[in-house]
Structure 1
Amino acid sequence: MQVQPYVFFNGRCEEALDYYSAKLGAQVIFKMRYKEAPPDPQNPPRPGLEEKIMHASVRLGSSDWMASDGRCDPAAPPMNGFSLSLTADDAASAEKYFSALADGGQVVMPFQATFWSKGFGMVVDRFGLTWMVTLPSEE
């Protein structure tokens, strides 16, 4: 069994994937726009979604996750109820990732040593996605 996050960026998926690729080294393995999907007369895409991302597969480190623009609903609530946890290989990487995610976002807990980790911090990035960055004690 495998559980993978599927993150909906409500119209900002391409921007988010470009950012994560540039700042975190994410690789977009697959990307399909709404206009590239087979037609479904029972569930046609809303006009204006043609260039938006219907589905993307992303590899970040050794983890794969999925992303989409979703329905691009202006009334959609912010992302809530989950975080992505990023475990860094070393202190320099952990601080680099935390700073990149904090750029244009909001720091919830500054990156710092804790009783369970040599470094831990929480940030809501510029796309509204909450991240927990960890540097394991074994480092």
Structure 2
Amino acid sequence: MATHLNPYLNFRENTREAMEFYQTVFGGELSIMTFGEMQMSEDPAEFEKVMHSQLETPAGLILQAADVPNVMELNPGDNVSVSVHGDDNAELTGYWDRLSDGATITAPFEIAPWGDRFGMLVDRFGINWLLNGVPD
């Protein structure tokens, strides 16, 4: 797999609806994982919320989105991140190291509960970044 750069959208309650709409616009295959399926929330009210979704089109477009948990703030305008994902951890670690300069780390680039190497940061310009690699 090559390394991809794509937008990552955040919503409060309607990620599934939004992503199904975008699928009608762009076509492609939509995958959705909920917080309940991934056992990533103890709040039953969040079990059906979307923890991660991805729309991949035949033209190569990738759009990802998730519902923000109730305990996290969501501000319109701040609800877009840039996602970088691929299978070359050395390449991704290099991006992480350079993006980290002057950044606020919100989740270290390490093995996540779902098994991938994952990290989140806000760079020195205020841009939200998500990096996702393969397990070591």
**Which of the pair is proportionally richer in strand?**
2
Bucket of the pairwise TM-score, normalised by the shorter protein? 0.3 to 0.5
